[in-house]
Chains A and B, each alone.
Chain A
Amino acid sequence: VAVLVPFALLGTFLGAYLTKRIADAWFFKLVQTGLFLLSVKLIWDAFSG
């Protein structure tokens, strides 16, 4: 966990920075697409496992 802490802290400041500088709509469509694909993979794993 200690190894991951710097990534989390970096991400927090990165998120605050990006919030002010990027278009929400485009970004959230990208994230939603990623979440959808991940979720389908998890459902597939659950059935095949």
Chain B
Amino acid sequence: MEFNQYLVLASLAALLIGMSKGGLPLVGMMSVPVLSLVMSPVKAAVLLLPLFVISDAVGIWLYRKHYSLVNLRILVPAGVVGVLVGWFTAAMISELTIKFLIGLVGVGFCLQTWFKRGQSETPKPASLPKGLLWGGVCRHSNDFVCHHQFGQDRPVSKFESVYRG
């Protein structure tokens, strides 16, 4: 691994994380996969975690007047459980398996987004079961799948950066 290559990709990943917290949530999905090209996905997540925390703080401040309390009440507890499950299971899974899973979720997300029929532009009401399930999955799997699966079919918006972490 060339140092320069690593630095360029790490800087790009940091920029993507920041942009996701600034209102372009889909961009952040690429940060861990980008770094996973040159290092272990687990190490990539560990390296980027402090950046997620810092950019979260800035993102929350930027959108401090725009949030959905209903969604937060569902997603925060679910997210805490997801983090704990991820913490317990991370050491049990091999690096190649994690790479495969990240790739699989990414491909699945894109295919689902491209080929799902009947997507509505009107947000559906918050769903407690779906919110708990996908909120937990999001935090466990580092934010890959919840947007459309969450079930509200909302268009991606700047508000999402606040409650999607």
Contacts and interface: CB of A to CB of B under 8 A. Distances in A.
A7 to B, nearest CB: 4
B106 interface: yes
A24 B51 contact: no
Contacts of B54: 5, 8-9
B106 A36 contact: yes
Specify the main secondary structure of chain B where it touches its partner.
Answer: helix
Nearest to A22: B24
Specify the main secondary structure of chain A where it touches its partner.
Answer: helix
Interface residues of B, number: 50
Given A1-B50, A49-B96, A12 B113 contact: no
Interface of B: 7, 10-24, 26-27, 29-30, 33-34, 36-37, 47, 50-51, 54-55, 58-59, 62, 96-97, 99-100, 102-107, 109-110, 113-114, 155-156, 158, 161
